[in-house]
Amino acid sequence: MTSVGIIANPSAGKDIRRLVASGRVISNQEKANIITRFVKGLAHKGLKDIYFMPDKASLYGPCTEEFKNLLNINFLDTKYYDGPEQTLYAAKLINNIGCDCVLVLGGDGTNRLVAKNIGNIPIVPISTGTNNAFPIIIDPTVAGLAAGFFIQSKQKKIKKSLISQKSKLTVSIDDKYQDIALIDMAISNQNFVGSKAIWDPNVLDQLFLTQSDPISIGLSAIGSKVTQIPKNHAIKLEFSKEGEKVYAPIAPGLISEIFINNWELFSYNKKYTLSNYSGTIALDGEREIEIYKKNKIEITLQKEGPFVLDVIKSVHQENLLKN
């Protein structure tokens, strides 16, 4: 039986970068509207079974009210309400159910959490966060139609062509796996996680990126100033008070200068080690891990990242089949 999971982060797009920069605020009303439009696309394609992550803001409310007599509406028993623990657990439940795909509303950070537990379930990432290098900006109605086409496609070759597996950065501490990043992993000289978000480039010592899109906002914009990252590669950048001076939009409306001392491309067989360093590690734009001089840090690029549905390709493929 076909089914779709929906994970919408009510806190996405509401962090401190609304104060220190000019980050947009995506209201809960707009997020609820996005969910409804996505589900309308699915419903048009005949899909019936939807699994929602519940939340205190009731982002699912307008959608479930409109479709209560038309769809099989299910709520995930996540045990937690709001916060990263709920997103992690919801992704695990959707993976266990075996949904055909999952809609994720959020930014890079929300998608990182989902990717940790979603297994091989393809993600449909729609941007509602601050740094949105991973999710896409697209009308959710189109995304729902594209997801419906992907799910109902009978030809395995076509279905396989519509999804791609992304790379991921992994960090281990003292030889124990710790966490991942989808877009950027930063080594910061700030000693505390604090408000998490990074908006001051002077706190950066090293930066690892899986992509360097020149039209992205966030730390990944820095990489675009030196090179494009080839497929199956990442880049490591080192910063200091001297070097090549570049500027980049590291947060919405915040254009900062930074000195790149050195950079190099690397692939899956490379491992970077950091020791005798005190600070924090930021994952996809947010400080998450405090590290100390006694710790040994290892960072690698791995193939086994999340699968993502190519919405645009899916729409084109359906049109080609009809013509």
Q: What is the pLDDT of residues 216-242, one digit of tens each?
A: 888 999 999 999 999 999 999 999 988
Q: Quick one: average pLDDT of 249-256?
A: 86
CB neighbour list of residue 194: distance below 8 Å, 6 or more residues apart: 287
pLDDT at position 12: 67
Most confident of 193-202, 241-250, 284-293, 300-309: 300-309
The pLDDT confidence band at residue 195, using thresholds 50, 70 and 90, is low
The pLDDT confidence band at residue 179, using thresholds 50, 70 and 90, is very high
The pLDDT confidence band at residue 270, using thresholds 50, 70 and 90, is very high
pLDDT at position 254: 86
What would the DSSP string read from start to end of 277-296?
--EEEEETTEEEEEE-TT-E
pLDDT at position 81: 78
- Boundaries of every domain in the chain: 3-166+306-322, 168-302
pLDDT at position 213: 84
pLDDT at position 44: 97
Which has more confidence, 309 or 81?
A: 309
Distance CA 150, CA 33 (A): 23
Q: What is the pLDDT of residues 257-267, one digit of tens each?
A: 999 999 999 99
Which has more confidence, 250 or 33?
A: 33
Topology alike, domains 3-166+306-322 and 168-302: no
Residue 80 has pLDDT above 80, yes or no: no
The pLDDT confidence band at residue 23, using thresholds 50, 70 and 90, is low
What would the DSSP string read from start to end of 43-68?
HHTT--EEEEPP-TT-TTHHHHHHTT
Phi/psi at 240 (nearest 5 deg)? Answer: -155, -170
Distance CA 124, CA 115 (A): 11
pLDDT at position 115: 98
pLDDT at position 13: 58
CATH topology (fold) of 168-302:
Tumour Suppressor Smad4 (2.60.200)
pLDDT at position 21: 54
Residue 14 has pLDDT above 60, yes or no: no
CB neighbour list of residue 137: distance below 8 Å, 6 or more residues apart: 126, 127
Residue 10 has pLDDT above 70, yes or no: yes
CATH 3.40.1280, domain 3-166+306-322, yes or no: yes
Q: What is the pLDDT of residues 124-157, one digit of tens each?
A: 999 987 667 899 999 999 999 999 999 999 888 8
Average pLDDT value for the chain: 91
* Residue percentage of the chain with pLDDT more than 90: 75
Nearest by Cα to 251 from 285, 276, 202: 285
pLDDT at position 224: 93
Q: Quick one: average pLDDT of 280-298?
A: 94
Q: Quick one: average pLDDT of 97-109?
A: 95
Query: What pTM, to 2 d.p., does this model score?
Result: 0.92
